Structure 1
């Protein structure tokens, strides 16, 4: 898919990676819609883009319920008179309780389901809108860690994202909608300079997202960074 002129929706746009994704794809000539439920962080992304001369459309979303996500996609359809071309389904990993922690199964389930429901809500609305407009678009599921303390539980969350990505790819293949994923590798420890490492990793994540989008043969696979 050609990025220049495409309509791209980026979730969790107030995060470090969200800002980097926004700046980079806007520099390639894409029309960017950024969304986040953190209004202050979303505004910071928008302000930085304006300062850099990037044309982006911010959309504050109050929560990630299906109704709220559907309203966002309706806004995009009205704004651009078409569906989006690309969804960068970008989410932070949430630290999950371990078996030896004091956390209950309900707490584990709540944290795990929040991530799954958020990713699914955007994927669901995106797929429906792309099918409605007969758009041969791309969905990139992206899970990242921006802090060292978020690494715990990455294996569980990564497995979920991997499974969703491959399942969606099979379901959407008849509609010529491609789905790919990018997941963090687990190799960091307390002695790492994590902030420095993440700055380098963020660039790699952005480039990998670009590769998936532009490579028309990439479908149903997951990359690791």
Structure 2
């Protein structure tokens, strides 16, 4: 098992990728602190982990509040005795062009408020900084460890009407590079994943919505790879587990010499594409 004897803290672990990785990491031998702003969701994840034979605790914390995530890291160490992995996974999308978040109405960039910016920046960028700051002293005391952040494909290419979100995720990529340089001397690795596909619809749902447990592509209906815009044509849709396995690789000793990297997980070649369409894009070969 790749995480045998390790202790990991995962923020945003009440749903989506965080929940998936709580289950995956414990199945690989880790003890996990499930951190989420939604106490009920955190408890649901804990129950699933325990039912699968894993060991975990659930902690309620808002990562945008430095004192809360600092206390969550401290509670993790007090309970398990150490910290090996800190994964700043919690994230929110900025208000704007996403109907389910914007109340069904488009919001122009110039009409977004200071509160809109503070909300998305507080979770997506400050939350990563606060999680890392809280974890570093324990990782140093432990002789090293791993910090992982969840970035986004939106940090690498433009998505419509969520410029504030993209800005925070691009900031995460810069933070990862800077911390990797500063913390490497202590045996601490710092990386990020930037999911493109295979993520949870809960990300765009209101707080407290039922946890879907599948990716956008999985819940969209029968999978037709020839109709999918993803260049890589496989017989199944991308899943949460496809991103989770990249995260597992980056926090395990399998990636012992990777630091300062942002990896486009579950990309399927999408990020390689230029803006124009070619005939082969419009007429893909059938998938056997």
TM class, shorter-chain normalised? 0.7 to 0.9
1:152 to 143, 162, 168: 162
Q: In proportion to residue count, which structure has more strand?
A: 1
Unmatched tracts of structure 1, length 5 or more: none
Deviant stretches of 4+, over 6 Å = none
Counterpart Cα distance in 2 of 1:175 and 1:67:
24
Corresponding residue for 1:220?
260
Alignment of 1:29-44 (within 5 A): 29-44=29-44
Residue matched to 1:139: 147
Judge which range, 154-163 or 120-129, deviates more.
154-163
Q: 1:37 to 1:100 in 2, by over 3 A?
A: closer
Query: Aligned with 1:135: secondary structure?
Result: coil
TM (norm. structure 2) is 0.66
Distance 1:26-1:151 versus aligned 2 partners, 3 A rule: farther
> Residues of 2 paired with 1:35 and 1:57: CA distance?
9
Structure ranking higher in helix proportion: 1
1:110 equivalent in structure 2? 118
Contact 1:97 1:103 in 2 (8 A): no
Give the one of 189, 192, 205 matched to 1:181.
192
Shift of 1:175: 1.1
Q: Which residue of 2 aligns with 1:206?
A: 244
- Mapped pair 1:90 → 2:100: no
Q: CA RMSD in A?
A: 3.0
Q: How far 1:136 sits from its partner (Å)?
A: 1.0
Give distance in 2, aligned partners of 1:91 and 1:176.
25
Q: Which has the larger radius of gyration?
A: 2
Q: Is the 8 A contact 1:94 1:150 kept in 2?
A: no
Which residue, 163, 173, 196 being the options, matches 2:218?
196
Q: Specify whether residues 63 and 8 from structure 1 end up closer, same or farther in structure 2 by C-alpha distance, changes over 3 A only.
A: closer
Q: What is the aligned residue count?
A: 215
**Where does residue 286 of structure 2 map in the other structure?**
none
**Structure 1's 164 and 97: CA in aligned 2 closer, same or farther, altered over 3 A?**
farther
Residue 65 of structure 1 and its aligned partner are, at CA, apart by 1.7
Q: C-alpha deviations, 1:37-57, integer Å up to 9, x for none?
A: 101111111122222222211
